């Protein structure tokens, strides 16, 4: 089974900050990686799929990069509505989510 790790587990940031979250797969997953955003008490929302393709309606301040085993989600200028937990998910073999990264207000 493919395992996913994320770092950091939480990050404190201010509005306007650039935030970077990393995700690592235990084996090569090519470019089959997605990022989801989840706010408290809400369902997850697909932000980015296949590493770097923004889902419809997602602001351009979100971007993704990487391939193989190492991936990154970047929020270029953090907005108040971006405070949430972010999960990566591999889709190369089965479906596995990372443990999540909580983006908190500094």
Partner 1 sequence: EVQLVDSGGGLVRPGGSLRLSCAASGFTFTDYAMNWVRQAPGKGLEWVASISSESTYIYYADEVKGRFTISRDNAKSSLSLQMNSLRAEDTAMYFCARGFWAAGALRYFDPWGRGTLVTVSS
- Contact call for residue 45 and partner 1 (CB under 8 A): yes
Which range in 12-20, 62-70, 73-81, 92-100 contacts partner 1 by CB under 8 A? 92-100
Burial of 98 (0-12, 13-18, 19+ CB in 10 A): buried
Out of 23, 49, 82, 103, the residue judged to bind partner 1 by CB under 8 A? 49
C-alpha 47/C-alpha 54 separation (Å) is: 6
- Contact call for residue 58 and partner 1 (CB under 8 A): no
- Contact call for residue 80 and partner 1 (CB under 8 A): no
- Contact call for residue 52 and partner 1 (CB under 8 A): no
- Contact call for residue 98 and partner 1 (CB under 8 A): yes
Which of 44, 66 has the CB closer to partner 1? 44
C-alpha 68/C-alpha 91 separation (Å) is: 12
- Contact call for residue 43 and partner 1 (CB under 8 A): yes
Interface positions with partner 1 (CB under 8 A): 32, 34, 36, 42-46, 49-50, 55, 87, 89, 91, 94-100
């Amino acid at each position: 089974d493919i395992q996913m790790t994320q770092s950091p587990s939480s990050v404190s940031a201010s509005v306007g900050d650039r935030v970077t979250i990393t995700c690592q797969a235990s084996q090569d997953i090519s470019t089959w990686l997605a990022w989801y955003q989840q706010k408290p008490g809400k369902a997850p929302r697909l932000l980015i799929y296949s590493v770097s393709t923004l889902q419809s309606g997602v602001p351009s301040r979100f971007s993704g990069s990487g391939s193989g085993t190492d991936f990154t989600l970047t929020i270029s200028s953090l907005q108040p509505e971006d405070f949430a937990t972010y999960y990566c998910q591999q889709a190369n073999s089965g479906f596995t989510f990372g443990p999540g990264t909580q983006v908190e207000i500094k």
